[in-house]
A and B are shown apart, each in its own frame.
Chain A
Amino acid sequence: MSGPNTSYDPVRVAALSAEEVERMRAAGVAAVQGAGSLEELKAVRLAHAGDRSPLALANREIGALPPQARKEAGMRVGRARSEIATAIARRDEELQTEQERRMLLDETVDVTLPFDRDPRGARHPLTVLQERIAEFFVGMGWEVAEGPEVEAEWLNFDALNIGSDHPARTMMDTFFVDPPSARTVLRTHTSPVQARTMLTQPPPIYVVCPGRTFRTDELDATHSPVFHQVEGLAIDKGIGMSQLKGTLDHFATAMFGAGITTRFRPSYFPFTEPSAEVDLVCFVCRGAEPAVDSCRTCKGEGWIEWGGCGVVNPRVLVACGVDPAVYSGFAFGMGIERTLMFRNGVHDMRDMVEGDVRFALAFGSEV
């Protein structure tokens, strides 16, 4: 800032004339408008708004004016400088936007390029289905019980009313642990978990027991010596076949969708009495026009076998410490592999047991 001009020179002060200021303003604004890039704008800023710009120099002369003229000249120059500054700011924003627009265009990529750099894995559908089943029952307030796969013969058989000479013991094609005096087997069903639950928890009991089971079947398209079951057990007052039916109806709907109804038909299991086989209406023909051999899935019967069930045999309750005079219960059991085969159209048991990653990967993480 210069002080008042003591050596007033009216010629030089002509730079503060209205005409001259307007000329400088117009030149500045025009230069700003003409700047085609941020670099040009930078040069324009220096030339028209910098410390050595004509208006800046003109401004220094204000002090040389007589005091009565200073205010008007100051306003005139200030307005012109402000206008140029505004124009620069506006132009700067325009040019920035344009530059970014171009940059983004230049950065265009092919978004269809695959990016399978970190392949996902998968949980096995048998695991996922077991969990899904467990979730259904947990949602109704049931709990999930588990037990050992290498099991005491007493819990696998005797406690379940399968005596040592019972045909069911041979029917179940049991793997026995060496030596036989250990009276230990690979569990043939998850029912011993039910026995364990009754022996360790007071009623009411509502548990579902998914898990691995064993039978001495050779592996083929429909059999495996190692497979999975889910069994359920309800022990409470006033429990009977109708509660069993209600539970399985809901279970079937949860697994297979609305419209898949169930049917009970008489069967035999040592641990239940009465016993029933639970059939599902055939998914393929839905039981329409039952005729032999018309539907390959159900062989024309309209129904397919899903699992076994029944009212817990009072003898089992006694062996497991539940008073049959007070409590009754129902139990059911289904094959997980079989359920997966039905639900998801698995054709060959071997696909589920061989650990071929293509099988599990196909399911994603839901079944």
Chain B
Amino acid sequence: MRVPVSWLREYVDLPADLDVGELARRLTMLGLKLEALESPGADVSGPLFVGRVLDFEEEQHSNGKTIRWCQVDVGEPSARGVVCGARNFSTGDLVVVALPGTMLPGGFRIDARKTYGHVSDGMICSARELGLGDDHTGILVLGSEEAKVGDDAVAVLALRDDVIEFEINPDRSDALSLRGVARDAAIAYDVEFDDPAQRFPAATAGQGYPVAVRDVAGCDLFAALEVTGFDPAAPTPRWLARRVQLAGMRPISLAVDVTNYVMLELGNPIHGYDKQRLHGAITVRRAAAGERLTTLDGVERELDPDDLVIADDRGPIGLAGVMGGEATELSAASTDLVIEAAHFDAPSVARCARRHKLPSEASRRFERGVDPTIAPIAALRTAQLLTRYGGGQVAPVATVVGQPGAREAIEMPADLPERVAGFPITATESRAALEAVGCNVAIATDELLVATPPSWRPDLRDPNDLVEEVLRVVGYDKVPSVLPAAPAGRGFTHRQRQRRAIGTALAAAGYVEAVCYPFMATADCDNLGLAPADDRRRATRIANPLSEAEPLLRTTLLPGLLRAQARNIGRGRSDVALYEIGIVVRPRPGEPTRPPALGVGRAPTAEEYAKLDAALPAQPLHMGVVAAGNRSPAGWWGPAREATWADAVQACRLVADVTRTPLEVESAHVPPWHPGRSAVLRLDGVDIGHAGELHPAVCRSYGVPVRTVAAELDLEALSASAADPLLAPVLANFPVGKEDVALVVDDTIPAAAVEAVLREGAGELLESLRLFDVYVGEQVGTGRRSLAYSLRFRAADRTLTEAEIAAARDAAVALAGERLGARPRG
């Protein structure tokens, strides 16, 4: 909402030496937030006068341009010679002349200059050059009654003003008018407010233009007032056009400017119909299916049966409260007008404007709530302004249909403002504050205030709404700062601490966290090479995605990570290791259940609450990593180490270690991974993730280097396990016995199996076991490999003898031989 301060002063007696910045600050503190402060015309200075064109000669120049060499009287002893490119004036016209030394808006300095063979002693200005709008088709010609020669043009044209632009909260529909802003300005300065709705009379109700309201729920008040004999060519008074312009609307014609002016002043959108183009009674009703309407913006629209329309005998002539129709529009020939001022149902207008993607000045006001009683005043105010400046007659009576319901009183405990605000506010202060915003207040008892909110504040419904009004007037800045003491908390949950530990460990291991968008496309499933039946293809779809390219919610973290990976590589980084911890969305199996329809008058039962949750897709927390290039770069210490499948698996093992989860690793053949270089990760026999090198086709699809590696792990299972405190290990201090064994096994036997058998065979004296070498070569034969392990033995209660250690080692080797055909490497 843009508010010219000179206009505001009409309704509120602001100090003469007003600091506009201070006014804006005070209004901000009342909830009308300062968005921008402008001082149009502040940069205009110097000799800018009204002058009369005494005479001119038209000259054709070689560049094809015709100019006028004018003699202009600006009230000086002699006339000035000015070159002018425009030709929309005659001898004797009053014009605005910027004499040398004038600064025009935008820092445009006027000097005497030689042009077209003359010394032009100034400039005759267009409206645009004066900051009065876009009109640059010719120079500005003033009416003879507007000014006289030698007048200061700044004053005549109201060039200087201050304009405050406010951001208006959705509940303050009243502040989308000068009337509402002025009321708050009066509160801000504790001065009288001259309510224009009381200053201007209402139209007398009677038999005016026929109106039928068929949808009372959609329109509880409709006023129609006729104006006849209007001169459509009459110009808009300059002050009125200027105010409309400074308020952010484009001056168009007297009829349009006046309707806009009254809307800005009183907050009620006004619509004018050309009476000659109306056919029969004006009807307010819902649209019929299949009806069409061409709105003022020239767009033909198919109407929805929920659209509230204004219609005549031929059909819809406007979307109620949103936009009028082209067929009945006021034109340069309209002499008889029907003025509509009405009150339309806010949700209905909101739905209609949204449906037709047609936010307008009118719909913006109606959908927030317009004063439902002001229409008869607004109608008459419009008609009177029209006839004052455009001639004609206002009909003696208006058709007024409907009766808005009276506001119900709200009972508020007298101490509620004090309790909610947290500092003393007396009932007297509360009453004064509520009256200042327009409430009718009675102190019923010592404990109770009864306030009837004013018609222009539809947002005031509850005692707490009144508290906000009281606090607004008393001052939000009075609220003291008191730190509440919460009861002792339990700290972070196990799950929260675990998530942090996982992130910290991955970061320490060289992975950088990416926070990716959780959207994906069906194409991602194809790019990942997922089979038609793959569960990751069952994704939740967004009805209104930002991009049709990514309408699905991710079922896997990999697409987002791979895109981030490609972006990093594209930006010139070759070694990138990323991780993400975030949810994926997995629709539940079977038909989606519908959530229960719940009201808000009570809390849902436990059963209803459970049903709300059951209707949501599962949203498990996942961990994903991708890495490409070197995990460790080459340097003076030696060669680089590339990221391999093993890094991806290790990232999962790291997560398992940090969370003390026993993770089993087995080879897997699951897209998007390399079929021979990927693993499935299991917890208690359940697959919870995969890791390894990506399939080269997947790498190509995402534009990441072939041999990029990745892992994805479901963290939900991890957080469920290992919640109990760990029992500390007993540290034995007897000497350790070390034995190394190398076993030759068939190379199809996984190392994990060999390790498991060795552990089992070695028995409880085994303290630790570690694979330290893998050998493949002639010595062990094709299809076989040698795995070398170092074993450490220790007992808690004694020093082990060499014989005991050897026996344990031999038992381990023997079991490996028996189960896996392993033989010691000779």
**Residues of A that sit less than 8 Å from B by CB:** 113-124, 126-127, 131, 134, 138, 140-144, 146, 148-155, 158-159, 161, 163, 165, 167-168, 170-171, 175-184, 186, 199-200, 204, 206, 212, 216, 218, 225-226, 234, 236, 238-247, 249-250, 263-268, 273-277, 290-292, 299, 301, 311, 313-315, 318-321, 328, 352-358, 360-361, 365
Contact = CB atoms under 8 A, between A and B. Distances in A.
B508 A234 contact: no
What are the nearest 9 A-B pairs in CB distance? A242-B422, A355-B564, A321-B603, A266-B31, A355-B514, A165-B347, A274-B468, A141-B486, A268-B169
B640 to A, nearest CB: 9
Given A242-B480, A274-B471, 19 more contacts: A120-B510, A141-B487, A142-B486, A144-B492, A149-B585, A150-B540, A158-B598, A167-B350, A175-B546, A177-B543, A241-B471, A241-B479, A244-B479, A247-B484, A265-B476, A266-B471, A274-B420, A291-B21, A355-B516
Contacts of A365: 504, 507
A357 B568 contact: yes
B637 A354 contact: no
A118 B351 CA distance: 59
A159 B600 contact: yes
Contacts of A165: 346-347, 350-351
A163 B346 CA distance: 13
B515 interface: yes
B666 interface: no
Contact of A121 (B368, B463, B507): B507
Nearest to A319: B600
Nearest to A217: B546
B603 A180 contact: no
Interface string B592-622: 1011001011111000010011011101000
Contacts of B467: 273-274, 311
A150 B585 contact: yes
Interface stretch (B285-293, B393-401, B571-579): B571-579
Contacts of B598: 154, 158
Interface stretch (B1-9, B381-389, B628-636, B755-763): B628-636
Given A119-B510, A277-B33, A242 B619 contact: no
Contacts of A127: 503, 513, 515
B549 interface: no
Contacts of A184: 595, 615-617
B238 to A, nearest CB: 27
A230 to B, nearest CB: 14
B61 interface: no
A178 B471 contact: no
A149 B576 CA distance: 29
A358 B491 CA distance: 32
Given A115-B637, A152-B612, A175-B545, A121 B479 contact: no
A243 B422 contact: yes
Given A144-B492, A167-B367, A273-B467, A356 B568 contact: yes
B29 interface: yes
B198 interface: no
B462 A273 contact: yes
Contact of A113 (B350, B462, B636): B636
A177 B422 contact: no
A158 to B, nearest CB: 5
B603 A320 contact: yes
A122 to B, nearest CB: 5
Given A148-B616, A247-B483, A273-B468, A120 B515 contact: no
B486 A234 contact: yes
A177 B420 contact: no
A268 B512 contact: no
B480 A245 contact: yes
B484 A246 contact: yes
Given A239-B484, A274-B420, A266 B468 contact: yes
18 contacts: A121-B512, A143-B491, A161-B600, A167-B350, A170-B354, A176-B544, A178-B540, A182-B592, A182-B594, A184-B617, A234-B486, A245-B422, A267-B33, A268-B31, A273-B462, A291-B21, A355-B578, A356-B564
Nearest to B553: A150
B29 A117 contact: no
B572 to A, nearest CB: 10
Interface residues of B, number: 114
Q: Say what secondary structure dominates the interface of chain A.
A: mixed
A162 to B, nearest CB: 10
Nearest to B472: A266
A155 B612 contact: yes
Contact of B542 (A186, A241, A314): A186
A324 to B, nearest CB: 9
Interface in B624-647: 632-633, 635-637
A69 to B, nearest CB: 55
Nearest to B28: A265
Contacts of B480: 242, 245-246
Contacts of B542: 175-178, 186
Contacts of A134: 492, 496
B488 interface: yes
B514 A150 contact: no
B654 to A, nearest CB: 12
B465 A273 contact: yes
Contact of B600 (A186, A267, A315): A315
B512 A264 contact: no
Contacts of B464: 273-274, 311, 313-314
Nearest to A240: B422
A304 B6 CA distance: 28
B476 A121 contact: no
B825 interface: no
A284 to B, nearest CB: 18
B72 to A, nearest CB: 37
B791 to A, nearest CB: 29
B420 A353 contact: no
B465 A267 contact: no
Given A117-B633, A121-B510, A199-B604, A167 B476 contact: no
Contact of B603 (A113, A117, A318): A318
Contacts of B577: 121
A352 B509 contact: no
A204 B485 CA distance: 11
B343 to A, nearest CB: 16
A182 B615 contact: yes
A121 B419 contact: no
Contact of A117 (B28, B36, B545, B635): B635
A280 to B, nearest CB: 14
Interface centre among B504, B506, B512, by most A CB within 10 Å? B512
Contacts of A180: 543
A158 B543 CA distance: 20
B240 to A, nearest CB: 27
B544 A175 contact: yes
Contacts of A244: 479
A234 B600 contact: no
Interface in B33-78: 33-34, 36-37
A267 B636 CA distance: 62
